[in-house]
C-alpha cells in the first residue's frame, strides 16, 4: 500500500491554494502583472491542448489492444455495463442540469468587467493532429494490431501508454495548480469571480448528491440481478471511498478497493478479482456525471446559454467511450475528454480552463463514486453469470486472482 501523503502535499491542497493565490493576485494586479499571468496561462493552455491527441492515442489504442488479453463474455458484459453506467449517469446529470442550472442565478452581464490586455507574445504549441483525427487513428490502429496479432506493436503501444501517463503525471498534473491560479487571477481581475464563486460551491454540492443517487441506483440494480442484499457489498466500501477522496485516483485506490470487495460474502471471488481491477480504469460514472453538469454550468457562465440538447446528447454518448479509456489518475476523465469539450461543445481556452478548475476541486469525490460503484458492477456481473456464493453453484474458493477458468 502506498505511503500516505500529508494534506499539505496533496493535489487537492495545491489546487485550493492555487485558487486562493489566483484570486488574491487578480484582485490587486495592475495591467502589467495581469498581462504576464495571462501569457503564462496561454502557454500552459497550449501545452495541455498539445497533449490531448497524445492522450487519446496513448490510452484508447492500448485499451483496444488489451481486450484480447482477457477476451470473453465476462469482459464484454463488464465493459457494456461500465459504458451503460457512465452514459446513464451522464444522462441523469444532463436532465438535472436542464432543471437546475437556469435557476442558479448565474450572472451573465459582463459589461462592467475589465478586459484583460493582449498577451506579451504568443508561443504557439500546435497539437500533432486534430482530436477527432487522433480518435479515428487510435481506433483503427488498435483494431489493426488485434487483426494482425503484432506483438511488436502491442509492446510498443504499451510502452507509449506508460510514456504518456508519465507526462500526464509528471508534467500536466504538476502545472495544473499554476494554470488554475492563472485562470482565477484572470477571473478576479475581470471582476466575474465575485459572482461565479457561489455558483461553483452550489454545483459541487449538487454533483456530490448526484453521486449518491447514482450509487443507490447501481447497488439496487446489483441486488436485483444477484437476488442478494447489496448492503453486503457497499457496507465494506467506506475505507475505499475515503482512500479515493484522499488519493483522487482510482488506480491508487485499487489495493484498498480489492480488500474491501473481498470482505463481501456475496461476490464470486474470480469475478470480483477480475471486475474490480478492470473497472478501476473503465468505470468512471462519478467523474462523467460531474463533467456533464459542469460543462453545462461553464457554458451558462461564459457563453450565456446551455449547449443544445442534440449537442449534449452527442457529447454524452461519446464521453461514455472516452471514460472507458481514461487514465485512472487525478483529472484523468476530463483530461482524456478535452478533445470532445473543444470539438463538440466548442469551448475556447477560457471554457476549458474554467472546466479544469472546478472539476479539479471535486475530483476526489467523483473518484470515490467511481471506486464505490465498482462494487455494484461486480455484484451485477456475479448475478448475471449466476455465480453467487451460497446459491448452489459451487463457487471456487477465495484465492488470489485466477481468471484462466473464465
Smallest CA-to-CA distance from 157 within 280, 70, 57 is with 57
Cβ atoms of 203 and 296 within 8 Å: the answer is: no
Q: Which residue is listed with cell 470539438?
A: 343
Residues 327, 168: Cα–Cα separation, whole Å: 9
Mean pLDDT comparison of 23-27, 123-127, 193-197, 244-248, highest-scoring range? 23-27
Residue 377, pLDDT score: 93
Smallest CA-to-CA distance from 355 within 292, 304, 310, 311 is with 292
- For the chain, the average pLDDT equals 78
Residue 6, pLDDT score: 65
Res 1 pLDDT > 80: no
- Comparing 34-48, 181-195, 288-302, the range with the smallest average pLDDT is 181-195
Q: Which helix (H) or strand (E) holds 353?
A: helix 349-384
**SS3 of residue 335 by DSSP:** helix
**SS3 of residue 385 by DSSP:** coil
Angle at 204 (CA atoms; ends 339, 188), nearest 5 degrees: 75
Judged on CB neighbours under 10 Å (0-12, 13-18, 19+), 121 is exposed
The whole model's pTM is what? 0.67
Res 388 pLDDT > 60: no
Residue 217, pLDDT score: 95
The fold of the 8-385 domain, in CATH, is 1.10.3860
Instruction: Pick 308 or 69 by higher pLDDT.
Output: 308
Count of positions (residues) in the chain: 406
Residue 54, pLDDT score: 83
Cβ atoms of 340 and 292 within 8 Å: the answer is: no
Cell of residue 398, nine digits:
477465495
- Comparing 82-96, 105-119, 214-228, the range with the smallest average pLDDT is 105-119
CB neighbours of 269 closer than 8 A, spacing ≥ 6?
A: 262, 395, 396, 397, 398, 399
How does DSSP classify residue 406? Answer: -
pLDDT band (50, 70, 90) for residue 196: low
Residues 25, 222: Cα–Cα separation, whole Å: 49
For the chain, domain boundaries? 8-385
Residues 59, 333: Cα–Cα separation, whole Å: 11
Res 218 pLDDT > 70: yes
Task: Count Cβ atoms below 10 Å from residue 260 Cβ, excluding itself.
Answer: 25
Smallest CA-to-CA distance from 1 within 283, 333, 247, 332 is with 247
Cβ atoms of 207 and 198 within 8 Å: the answer is: no
What phi and psi values does residue 261 have, to the nearest 5 degrees? -65, -35
How does DSSP classify residue 104? Answer: S
What phi and psi values does residue 299 have, to the nearest 5 degrees? -60, -40
Amino acid at each position: 500500500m502506498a505511503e500516505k501523503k500529508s494534506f499539505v502535499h496533496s493535489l487537492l491542497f495545491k489546487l485550493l491554494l492555487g485558487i486562493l493565490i489566483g484570486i488574491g493576485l487578480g484582485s490587486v494586479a495592475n495591467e502589467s502583472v495581469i498581462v504576464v499571468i495571462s501569457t503564462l496561462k496561454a502557454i500552459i493552455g497550449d501545452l495541455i491542448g498539445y497533449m490531448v491527441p497524445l492522450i487519446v492515442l496513448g490510452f484508447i489504442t492500448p485499451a483496444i489492444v488489451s481486450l484480447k488479453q482477457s477476451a470473453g463474455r465476462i469482459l464484454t458484459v463488464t465493459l457494456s455495463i461500465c459504458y451503460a453506467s457512465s452514459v446513464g449517469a451522464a444522462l441523469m446529470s444532463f436532465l438535472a442540469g436542464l432543471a437546475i442550472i437556469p435557476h442558479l442565478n448565474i450572472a451573465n452581464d459582463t459589461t462592467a468587467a475589465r478586459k484583460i490586455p493582449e498577451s506579451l507574445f504568443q508561443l504557439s504549441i500546435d497539437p500533432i493532429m486534430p482530436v477527432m483525427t487522433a480518435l479515428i487513428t487510435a481506433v483503427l490502429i488498435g483494431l489493426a494490431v488485434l487483426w494482425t496479432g503484432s506483438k511488436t506493436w502491442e509492446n510498443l503501444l504499451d510502452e507509449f501508454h506508460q510514456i504518456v501517463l508519465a507526462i500526464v503525471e509528471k508534467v500536466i498534473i504538476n502545472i495544473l495548480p499554476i494554470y488554475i491560479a492563472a485562470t482565477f487571477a484572470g477571473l478576479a481581475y475581470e471582476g466575474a469571480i465575485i459572482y461565479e464563486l457561489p455558483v461553483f460551491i452550489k454545483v459541487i454540492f449538487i454533483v456530490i448528491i448526484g453521486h449518491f443517487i447514482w450509487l443507490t441506483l447501481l447497488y439496487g440494480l446489483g441486488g436485483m440481478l444477484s437476488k442478494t442484499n447489496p448492503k453486503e457489498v457497499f457496507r465494506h466500501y467506506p475505507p475505499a471511498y475515503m482512500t479515493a477522496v484522499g488519493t483522487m485516483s482510482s488506480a491508487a485506490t485499487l489495493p484498498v478497493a480489492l480488500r474491501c470487495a473481498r470482505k463481501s460474502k456475496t461476490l464470486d471471488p474470480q469475478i470480483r478479482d477480475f471486475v474490480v481491477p478492470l473497472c478501476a480504469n473503465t468505470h468512471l460514472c462519478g467523474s462523467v456525471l460531474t463533467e456533464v453538469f459542469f460543462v453545462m454550468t461553464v457554458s451558462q457562465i461564459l457563453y450565456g446559454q446551455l449547449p443544445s440538447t442534440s449537442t449534449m446528447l452527442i457529447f454524452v454518448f461519446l464521453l461514455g467511450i472516452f471514460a472507458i479509456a481514461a487514465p485512472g489518475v487525478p483529472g484523468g476523465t476530463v483530461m482524456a475528454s478535452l478533445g470532445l469539450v473543444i470539438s463538440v461543445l466548442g469551448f475556447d481556452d477560457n471554457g476549458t480552463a474554467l472546466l479544469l478548475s472546478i472539476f479539479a476541486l471535486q475530483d476526489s469525490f467523483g473518484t470515490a463514486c467511481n471506486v464505490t460503484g465498482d462494487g455494484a458492477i461486480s455484484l451485477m456481473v456475479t448475478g448475471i453469470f449466476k455465480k453467487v456464493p451460497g446459491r448452489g453453484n459451487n463457487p471456487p474458493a477465495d484465492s488470489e486472482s485466477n481468471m484462466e477458468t473464465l
